[in-house]
Amino acid sequence: MKSTLTPTVIKKTSARTRSSRRSPRLAIKGGIKAVPEGAIKPWPPIDAIDREMVLASLNGGRHAFGPNCDAFQKEFAEWNGNRHAITTNSGTAALHMGLVACDCGTGAEVIVTAYSWSSSATCIMQHNCIPVFVDIDFDTMNINVDKIEAAITPKTKAIIVVHLHGLAVNMEKVMAVARKHGLKVIEDACQSHGAKFNGKKVGTLGHCGAFSFNQNKNLCSGEGGMFVTDDEEMLAKAQSLWSFGENRTPSEKRDYHVYAMGWMYRNNDLTAAFGRAQLTKLDRYLAVQKANARLLTGQLRDVPGLILPVEPKDHEHCWYNYTIRFDMKALGHERDAKAFRDKIIQAMQAEGVQTGVWQNFILPAMTVFQAKNAYGKSCPWNCPHAQAVDYSVHQYPMAQKHCDAHTGMTTPLRAPNGPEAVALTAQGIRKVMENLDQLYY
């Protein structure tokens, strides 16, 4: 894999001038699909290990927080390199627990990227804190670490770094800023199981972290998540939120007394059993993803109009999502980037390429932030402990540029898919990009 901060960009001449290259006919125009039905196998693969462990849980009689939950926490912590782990019902819950573990309270500001899944920012509001957005670095798609310090105010309490699509943020720079200003760092590693920075896995680089085990994730248990930390005090605070505001876990003798605000974020035994089974295969799955990503990059490197993903020096991508951007300037579509991107994706999907738009809006453009109506009556922004925050979208040009020009895929690179599935996917992408003139009529 090419190690560079400069994305691979393939230029092309105007599609309108290439009438001699209209063949083969695109599937969206009645041609034959490049990727036949059934060629891409679904995720995740289910085998005897999954069936055995889930059935044993089903027959075990403890279907709430049971023995598989305890075991899953220990096994995941060992796999990732953390001292402590708490299994949750979602990655979003784990993120909320991170806010509490880091003492982020009413009116506190938390810095987060302008482009991610909504939970990366809405988790902040769940504890009456205020999201403060920072634009992305276009090449990596992650938060622009060189712009974080400018977003810090006396109200700033923490930074949420989102390791987006399987690529770690430059944590050396982030932690230096955090130390300078006395801030806590929460890693949103929901998409990045196994990704590394400077040889260390994500989730071990900040003060605490969150993982998701949703259907699409590298480690899938249907739904679920994990909060991780090495700090026992943070662990206790996160556990209190996780279990109704109590100060004892379901594995201990509980007094059923509520000591603080709490939710019910616990996992269940069946889901944990599925997660444990999948964890036994995770390293192999990640190796398949990385090999498939290298193959796909090699087969797309000379395709016109594409900006391919990068893997910077000292980073090890886990390739949760293989995200391509279309070079709208080279394609002559800077003014209608989003509309033309959608046409390209529709054509690729017609070819059988399993790709799509991952996130159609940058976070600060979403209604909840523009209207500042999270709890109604402008709460939490009008809290007497908060200060004014500006969410004008023009402040995030790189996030918007990326949002309007991207497409991403997960399943074609996942086990059990291999070189044949990668080749078919590349063929479908190439077919569309080399025949864009067919989309004009």
C-alpha to C-alpha distance for 43 and 197, rounded to whole angstroms: 26
Q: Which domains does the chain have, with CATH numbers?
A: 8-42+281-357+410-440 (3.90.1150), 48-280 (3.40.640.10)
C-alpha to C-alpha distance for 132 and 113, rounded to whole angstroms: 8
C-alpha to C-alpha distance for 30 and 32, rounded to whole angstroms: 7
Q: Which residue has the tokens 């054509």?
A: 347
Centroid of chain to Cα 360: 14
pLDDT (0 to 100) of residue 18 = 42
Q: What H or E segment, with its residue span, contains residue 201?
A: strand 200-201
pLDDT (0 to 100) of residue 3 = 44
pTM assigned to the model: 0.92
pLDDT (0 to 100) of residue 16 = 41
Judging by DSSP bridges, how do beta strands 208-212 and 200-201 pair with one another?
Answer: unpaired
- Give the Å distances, CA to CA, from 147 to 66, 256, 334: 44, 45, 25
Spatial neighbors of 73 by CB under 8 A, at least 6 apart, are: 85, 86, 87, 226
C-alpha to C-alpha distance for 254 and 252, rounded to whole angstroms: 6
C-alpha to C-alpha distance for 418 and 293, rounded to whole angstroms: 10
pLDDT (0 to 100) of residue 243 = 82
Per-10-residue mean pLDDT for the chain, 441 residues long? 46 42 83 97 97 97 95 98 98 97 96 98 94 98 98 98 98 98 98 98 98 97 98 95 75 70 90 98 98 98 97 97 98 97 98 96 97 88 92 98 98 97 98 95 74
pLDDT (0 to 100) of residue 323 = 98
